[in-house]
C-alpha cells in the first residue's frame, strides 16, 4: 500500500516537473529538453541552409559577446599594458648597456636576403613568403581543457578557408578550423588536437609539433631515432601539409629532463591582433 503511494507520489512529482509551467515559466521542461535534442541532432547537417543559419547565428553570438566583453577587455588590456611598460623599462635599461651593433646586423640581413633571392632564382624556387595576410582583431579568446581557440573577425566573406595559417607578428600561432560568414575560429598550436608539420633548423629535421595544453611549450613527435636536434634550434612550419605556408617561425627547442619541447615564440596571453592567410 505504502509502496503504491510512493510510486504515485513519484509519478505526480515527475508530471509536475516535466509538464507543469509555473507562473513565470513560458515553456515546460519537457518541451525544452525535446527542443535541445532536436537542435543537437541538427549538428549532423554540415552543409545547406541549416549550416548557413548556424553560421549567421554564430556570427551574431560572437559579435554580441565581443561588445559585452569590451569593458572587461579594456581592464585586462590596461593590466597587461602596465606590466609591459614595466618590463620595457627594465629591458631598455639593460639594452643601453649592451652594444648590439645594429647597423652591422642590418647589412648582414640585407646581404642574406639578396643571396637567398639569387639562389631561389637559380633553382627556380617560388617565393616562400606570401603577403596574402589579413590583419584581424580577436573577438573572443577561449580557453578550456577541451579547446584552445580564438575567434577572429574575418570569415568566408574575406576569402578565409579552413586550414589557413594564422600568425601573431611573424610567429605561427595556429590554423583556421571553422569559418562563418564574418568570423572564424582558430585552433591554437597549443591545443591538444593541434598537429603541425615542422622543420627544425639548422639541420633540417622534419617532425610534428603537437599541443599539450601548455601556453609555453609544445611536444615534438616523430623525430628521427638518431636526431641531432639540440637546445636553441629554431622550429619553422614545413608546409608539408600543402595548406600552411612554409618557413613561419614557431619557437625554439628547449630540453627539459632530457625531453625535447618547442618553446613558443608567441605569447598566447597577449594576443590582440593576428594575421590570417587568405587566398582568392
Partner 1 sequence: MSLFANRIYSKTITSLPTLILFLVVILGLNQNIIYKDFNFIINFSYIIIFFWSLKKPEHLGYGLIFFAGIINDVVQSLPIGISSLGYLLLSVIGAFIRNRSIIYNLIYDWISFFIAILIVGSVNYIILTTIFKIPIVYESLILGLFVTFLIYPIFFKIFIWIDNIVLIKQNDKKNR
Q: How are beta strands 195-201 and 184-188 bridged, if at all?
A: unpaired
**Which residue number, 26 or 118, has a Cβ lying nearer to partner 1?**
26
Of positions 128, 147, 208, 243, contacts partner 1 by CB under 8 A: 147
Question: Any bridge partners for residue 195, and if so which?
Answer: 210
19 scored as a contact of partner 1 (CB under 8 A): no
The DSSP code sequence of 142-197 is EE-SS-EEEEES--GGGT--TT-EEEETTEEEEEEEEE-SS-EEEEETTSTT-EEE
Q: How far is the CB of 47 from partner 1 (least distance, A)?
A: 16
3-state secondary structure of 49: helix
Of positions 1, 2, 5, 26, contacts partner 1 by CB under 8 A: 26
* Tally of CB atoms within 10 A around 215: 14
Of positions 13, 110, 170, 270, contacts partner 1 by CB under 8 A: 13
83 scored as a contact of partner 1 (CB under 8 A): no
Are 208 and 220 in contact, with CB atoms under 8 Å apart? yes
241 DSSP 8-state letter: T
Q: How big is the site for partner 1, counted in residues (CB under 8 A)?
A: 50
32 scored as a contact of partner 1 (CB under 8 A): yes
Of positions 154, 167, 175, 185, contacts partner 1 by CB under 8 A: 185
Of positions 63, 128, 159, 192, contacts partner 1 by CB under 8 A: 192
138 scored as a contact of partner 1 (CB under 8 A): no
Q: How far is the CB of 195 from partner 1 (least distance, A)?
A: 13
User: Applying CB under 8 A, which part among 37-45, 196-204, 222-230, 238-246 lies near partner 1?
Assistant: 37-45
Name the residue among 220, 215, 223 with its Cα closest to residue 190: 215
The DSSP code sequence of 50-118 is HHHHHHHHHHHHHHHHHHHHHHHHHHHHHHHHHHHHHHHHHHHHHHHHS---HHHHHHHHHHHHHHHHH
Binding mask 84-123 for partner 1 (x = CB under 8 A): ----------------------------------------
Of positions 156, 178, 223, 236, contacts partner 1 by CB under 8 A: 178
C-alpha 255/C-alpha 229 separation (Å) is 10
Q: How far is the CB of 57 from partner 1 (least distance, A)?
A: 7
22 scored as a contact of partner 1 (CB under 8 A): yes
Question: Any bridge partners for residue 275, and if so which?
Answer: 135, 167
64 scored as a contact of partner 1 (CB under 8 A): yes
57 scored as a contact of partner 1 (CB under 8 A): yes
Q: What are phi and psi of 107, to 5 degrees?
A: -65, -40
**Interface with partner 1 (CB under 8 A):** 9, 13-14, 16-18, 22-29, 32-33, 35-43, 54, 57-58, 61-62, 64-65, 68-69, 72, 140, 142-147, 149, 178, 185, 192-193, 213-215
Amino acid at each position: 500500500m505504502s509502496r503504491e503511494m510512493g510510486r504515485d507520489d513519484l509519478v505526480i512529482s515527475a508530471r509536475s516537473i516535466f509538464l507543469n509551467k509555473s507562473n513565470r515559466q513560458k515553456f515546460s521542461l519537457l518541451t525544452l529538453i525535446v527542443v535541445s535534442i532536436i537542435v543537437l541532432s541538427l549538428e549532423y547537417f554540415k552543409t545547406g541552409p541549416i549550416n548557413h543559419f548556424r553560421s549567421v547565428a554564430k556570427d551574431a553570438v560572437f559579435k554580441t559577446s565581443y561588445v559585452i566583453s569590451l569593458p572587461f577587455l579594456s581592464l585586462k588590456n590596461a593590466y597587461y599594458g602596465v606590466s609591459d611598460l614595466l618590463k620595457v623599462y627594465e629591458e631598455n635599461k639593460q639594452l643601453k648597456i649592451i652594444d648590439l651593433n645594429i647597423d652591422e646586423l642590418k647589412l648582414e640581413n640585407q646581404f642574406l636576403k639578396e643571396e637567398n633571392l639569387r639562389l631561389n632564382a637559380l633553382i627556380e624556387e617560388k617565393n616562400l613568403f606570401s603577403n596574402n595576410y589579413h590583419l584581424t582583431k580577436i573577438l573572443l579568446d577561449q580557453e578550456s581543457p577541451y579547446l584552445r581557440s580564438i575567434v577572429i573577425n574575418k570569415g568566408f566573406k574575406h576569402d578565409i578557408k579552413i586550414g589557413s595559417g594564422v600568425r601573431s607578428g611573424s610567429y605561427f600561432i595556429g590554423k583556421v578550423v571553422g569559418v562563418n560568414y564574418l568570423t572564424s575560429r582558430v585552433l591554437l598550436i597549443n591545443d591538444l588536437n593541434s598537429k603541425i608539420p615542422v622543420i627544425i633548423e639548422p639541420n633540417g629535421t622534419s617532425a610534428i609539433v603537437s599541443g599539450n595544453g601548455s601556453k609555453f611549450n609544445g611536444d615534438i613527435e616523430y623525430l628521427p631515432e638518431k636526431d641531432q636536434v639540440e637546445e636553441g634550434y629554431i622550429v619553422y612550419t614545413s608546409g608539408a601539409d600543402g595548406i600552411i605556408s612554409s618557413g613561419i617561425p614557431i619557437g625554439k627547442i628547449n630540453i627539459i629532463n632530457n625531453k625535447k619541447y618547442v618553446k613558443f615564440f608567441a605569447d598566447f596571453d597577449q594576443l590582440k591582433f593576428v594575421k590570417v592567410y587568405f587566398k582568392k
